Amino acid sequence: MDGASGLLMGENHVMKAFAGDVYFRTPQEEPPPRGVKLLILTSGGVCVIGDWRDDGGFWAWSPLPKKRRRGQDVQTSQSPDNSALP
C-alpha cells in the first residue's frame, strides 16, 4: 500500500480501498465463516490472513477483498465522493 496515495497494488492492477468498503466484524456481531481464508485482527492488533479459531487470540474478522472481474462495469463501484473508481 502506498501511504501517500492510498492505493493497493496487486499482480497487474491497482485499486483504491475505501474505509467504508472493508471493515472488521466481531464474532458477537456476526459469526465468522469456517473453513475459508479471512482477514483476522488479533488481540495484539495485528492483521493476518487465516482461518478463524476460537482460542481467544482473535478479536475481529473481515472477508478477503475481491478483485473486480475483467469487463465488469466500473461505473457500479463508487468512491465516497460519488466519482467512479478507475
Structure confidence by residue, pLDDT tens digits, 1-28: 444 555 555 555 665 666 556 789 999 9
How much is the pLDDT for 42?
95
How much is the pLDDT for 20?
59
Q: Residues near 69 by Cβ (< 8 Å), separated by ≥ 6?
A: none
Q: How far apart are CA 24 and CA 68, in angstroms?
A: 21
How much is the pLDDT for 1?
45
Q: Is 60 exceeded by the pLDDT of residue 30?
A: yes
Task: Tell me the per-residue pLDDT of 46-72, one tens digit each, with 9 for 90 and over.
Answer: 999 999 999 889 999 999 887 777 766
Cell numbers 469487463: residue: 71
